[in-house]
DNA sequence: GCCGTTTTCGGCCCGACTGTTTTCAGTCG
């Protein structure tokens, strides 16, 4: 089992224990353990096998969890989990996913009414059986019915890029609200997570009622979920939740810090604050002994009050950021202005929509100084992939137009060559050897077992004509799981053979993920961030890749295509690629 | 279940909102 799989076991364990009414701190210990393992940038198996190291020394892992990890690594399962699964009916778990119902209420409903499905629950609500239970009432009953209707859509996290569009529209609307003097988006949107579950808007308003009315007048509003004195929640576009919190101007920094999260990061902030004799909440920072307020207007103040510099929102996951902040070693994260090249794009020769010249001109418009043209190889028949002859023909064209671009843009002769199902590359070595830049990628046989697909990718890495693995895990967020590939083995091989790994900037892909990126950084494997553009506008997704890189803690120095052409060439020479 | 320059026991972040309650539990973030 790998880190995510082990983390998933403890997450499920925590969830099931909640239904059993276990000690909430014990539940949280399992959740913390799961997070610690998921966030680890090295394989937990290696730590377990290293006689010099001790799993229980990891933060959040104690004696009990270390033992259970051992069992999982050895046997692949945990008897405790099997038992718990049998004791908690699936329908109870399904019920707890309905907004407003948690573990306690779901368990109570199941206990009082004989329910076998969500349909049974809906029927019970309509018959008034739910309202008759002690602790439940008419309103709960109707909100369960509402919740059932939207449960599926409401639980779906959307791509950051799509949330960004909603944010832009709502910002445009709210800008016209005269009573609001200050506003900012917080939450996972501000932390630039690859997906966003809801949006948090923070605002200072002289008239809160008017500000809430104004939000409710947003044309895209579908409904209002709740409205109190300081907080309102609405749904936009049928199901997506948007919260607005109204705070005083001198609380803005504390509120921004608080609502940006993550929850784990905030818990850590408050723990440090306690050690300083301080209490942090969304209204400010206060001395515990006499309630004196010491900070709150800006985020800088809040962090400074506990002796830390401001931490970039992308890093606020309680991974390494507190250690870095304390040591003054927070990374200077990569920014869009750092990018010089884009080494993965398609043209109308295969499934792209623009010509080489159009892509080149668009790249120049975007401030790039080098690109690689990387159309598909012949195996990708649906895309009209290039065979040997057509590829050599395309490279001849690139040779011909290179001179006229030479003072502005270097154009590399590239290919996105498929790694075949049975292993091996889709084009012969003597052809690949004539190009400048060879991406290798998996498009077929994605569901192969772990060993098989890992071997295919390792084979590509060992091929001297391959320079980079494109979209190394193949996942499509919310739509397709990653290959069962052993990423640790891929990274070690990439390091050993001097190959790049791609961070694919397409908002549906974004592989590598933040944990992979942190691991690559630790192993000093150079990353390239590529757009995989299929048309001119596709070049603009670069910024999504950069946000993902920031979440991995990458600086410009960790990303090879921030280098100018000369330095990039020098790096490749040092890696033995040319 | 985890953790420790006050602690190996006794804590564990903190508050808003809701619904069903007469003072609070559950849920959410």
A23-68 per-position pLDDT tens digit: 888 888 999 899 999 888 888 998 999 888 889 888 889 999 999 9
Task: Pick the range with the lowest mean pLDDT from A50-59, A146-155, A420-429, A437-446.
Answer: A146-155
User: What confidence category does residue A78 fall into, taking pLDDT thresholds of 50, 70 and 90?
Assistant: very high
> Mean pLDDT of all residues in chain A?
92
CA distances from A559 to A200, A341, A495, A526 (A): 31, 10, 14, 6
The CATH number that applies at residue A183 is: 3.30.460.10
Give strand B nucleotides closer than 7 A to any protein Cβ: 1-3, 11-21, 25-29
Residues A184 and A315 both lie in one domain: no
Average pLDDT for A307-315: 94
Residues A178 and A289 both lie in one domain: no
Whether the predicted pLDDT of A436 surpasses 70: yes
State the pairing for strand pair A231-236/A240-246.
Answer: antiparallel
Whether the predicted pLDDT of A381 surpasses 80: yes
Q: What is the DSSP letter of A558?
A: G
Residues A451 and A570 both lie in one domain: yes
Average pLDDT for A478-496: 92
Residues A458 and A549 both lie in one domain: yes
Residues A423 and A559 both lie in one domain: yes
Q: Encode pLDDT of A126-149 as tens digits.
A: 888 888 888 888 888 888 887 777
CA distances from A224 to A135, A176, A212 (A): 24, 20, 11
CA–C1' gap, A262 and B29, in angstroms: 9
**How confident is the model at residue A22, as a pLDDT?**
83
Which structure tokens are listed for A337? Answer: 């202005």
**How confident is the model at residue A256, as a pLDDT?**
95
Domain end point (choices A259, A293, A327): A327
Dihedral sign (CA A133, A136, A139, A140): negative
Residues A355 and A398 both lie in one domain: yes
Q: Whole domain around residue A539: which residue ranges?
A: 336-574
A104 CB closer than 7 A to any strand B atom: yes
Dihedral sign (CA A117, A121, A126, A129): positive
Asked if residues A3 and A36 have their Cβ atoms less than 8 Å apart, the reply is no
Number of domains in chain A: 5
- The strand B neighbours among A residues 7-36, by Cβ under 7 Å, are 23, 25-26, 28-30, 32-33
SS3 A551: helix
Q: Which residues contact A286 (CB under 8 A, 6 or more apart)?
A: A278, A279, A280, A292, A293, A294
H-helix or E-strand spanning residue A499: none
Asked if residues A426 and A417 have their Cβ atoms less than 8 Å apart, the reply is yes
Domain end point (choices A277, A310, A327): A327
- The strand B neighbours among A residues 47-66, by Cβ under 7 Å, are 56, 58-66
Residues A373 and A315 both lie in one domain: no
- The strand B neighbours among A residues 279-308, by Cβ under 7 Å, are 279-283
Domain end point (choices A301, A327, A353): A327
What's the farthest any 2 CA atoms get from each other in chain A?
A: 81
Residues A297 and A439 both lie in one domain: no
**How confident is the model at residue A113, as a pLDDT?**
86
Sheet holding A284-287, edge to edge: A278-281, A284-287, A293-295
CA distances from A368 to A35, A148, A362, A408 (A): 38, 49, 9, 9
Rounded Cα–Cα distance for residues A246 and A203 (Å): 5
User: What confidence category does residue A215 fall into, taking pLDDT thresholds of 50, 70 and 90?
Assistant: very high
- The strand B neighbours among A residues 107-166, by Cβ under 7 Å, are 131, 134-141, 143
**A505 - beta bridge partners?**
none
- The strand B neighbours among A residues 241-270, by Cβ under 7 Å, are 241, 259, 261, 263, 266-267, 270
User: What confidence category does residue A491 fall into, taking pLDDT thresholds of 50, 70 and 90?
Assistant: very high
Q: Which residues contact A134 (CB under 8 A, 6 or more apart)?
A: none
Residues A68 and A109 both lie in one domain: no
A233 CB closer than 7 A to any strand B atom: no
Bin A444: left if φ > 0, else alpha if -120 < ψ < 50, else beta. beta
User: What confidence category does residue A119 fall into, taking pLDDT thresholds of 50, 70 and 90?
Assistant: confident
CA distances from A344 to A435, A497, A501, A572 (A): 14, 21, 12, 17
**How confident is the model at residue A105, as a pLDDT?**
87
């Amino acid at each position: 089992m790998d880190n995510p799989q082990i983390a998933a076991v403890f997450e499920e364990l925590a969830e099931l224990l909640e239904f059993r009414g276990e000690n909430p701190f014990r539940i949280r210990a399992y959740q913390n353990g799961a997070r610690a393992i998921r966030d680890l940038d090295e394989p937990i198996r290696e730590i377990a096998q290293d006689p010099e190291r001790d799993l229980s020394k990891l933060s959040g892992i104690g004696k009990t969890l270390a033992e259970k990890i051992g069992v999982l690594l050895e046997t692949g399962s945990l008897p405790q989990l099997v038992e718990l699964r049998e004791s908690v009916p699936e329908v109870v778990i399904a019920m707890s996913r309905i907004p407003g119902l948690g573990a306690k209420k779901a368990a109570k409903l199941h206990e009082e009414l004989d329910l076998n499905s969500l349909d049974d629950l809906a029927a019970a609500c309509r018959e008034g059986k739910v309202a008759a239970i002690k602790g439940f009432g008419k309103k709960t009953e109707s909100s369960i019915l509402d919740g059932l209707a939207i449960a599926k859509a409401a639980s779906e996290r959307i791509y950051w890029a799509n949330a960004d569009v909603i944010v832009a529209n709502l910002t445009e609307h709210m800008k016209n609200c005269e009573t609001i003097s200050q506003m900012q988006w917080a939450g996972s949107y501000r932390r630039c997570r690859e997906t966003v579950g809801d949006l948090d808007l923070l605002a200072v308003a002289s008239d809160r009622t008017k500000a809430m009315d104004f939000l409710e007048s947003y044309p895209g509003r579908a409904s209002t979920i709740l409205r109190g004195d300081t907080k309102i929640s609405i749904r936009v576009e049928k199901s997506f939740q948007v919260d607005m919190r109204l705070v005083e101007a001198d609380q803005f920094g504390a509120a921004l810090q608080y609502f940006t999260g993550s929850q784990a990061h905030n818990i850590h902030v408050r723990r440090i604050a306690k050690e300083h004799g301080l209490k942090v909440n969304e209204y400010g920072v206060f001395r515990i002994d006499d309630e004196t307020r010491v900070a709150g207007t800006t985020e800088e103040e809040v962090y400074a009050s506990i002796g830390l510099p401001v931490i970039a929102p992308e890093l606020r996951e309680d991974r390494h950021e507190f250690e870095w902040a304390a040591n003054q070693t927070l990374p200077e994260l990569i920014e869009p202005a750092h990018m010089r090249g884009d080494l993965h794009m398609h043209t109308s020769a295969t499934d792209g929509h623009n010509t080489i010249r159009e892509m080149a001109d668009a790249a120049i418009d975007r401030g790039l100084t080098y690109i690689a043209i990387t159309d598909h190889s012949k195996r990708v028949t649906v895309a009209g992939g290039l065979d040997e002859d057509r590829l050599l023909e395309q490279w001849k064209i690139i040779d011909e137009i290179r001179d006229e671009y030479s003072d502005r843009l270097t154009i590399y002769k590239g290919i996105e060559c498929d790694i075949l199902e049975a292993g091996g590359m889709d084009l012969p070595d003597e052809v690949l050897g004539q190009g400048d830049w060879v991406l290798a990628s998996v498009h077929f046989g994605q569901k192969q077992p772990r060993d098989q697909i890992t071997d295919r990718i390792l084979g590509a890495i060992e091929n001297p004509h391959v320079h980079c693995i494109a979209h190394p895990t193949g996942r499509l967020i919310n739509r397709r799981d990653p290959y069962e590939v052993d990423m640790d083995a891929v990274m070690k091989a990439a390091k050993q053979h001097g190959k790049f790994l791609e961070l694919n900037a397409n908002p549906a892909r974004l592989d590598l993920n933040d944990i992979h990126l942190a691991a690559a950084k630790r192993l000093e494997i150079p990353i390239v961030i590529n757009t995989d553009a299929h048309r001119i506008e596709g070049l603009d997704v670069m910024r999504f890749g950069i946000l993902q890189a920031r979440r991995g803690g990458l600086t410009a120095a960790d990303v090879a295509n921030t280098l100018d052409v000369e330095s990039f060439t020098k790096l490749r020479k040092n890696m033995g690629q040319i």
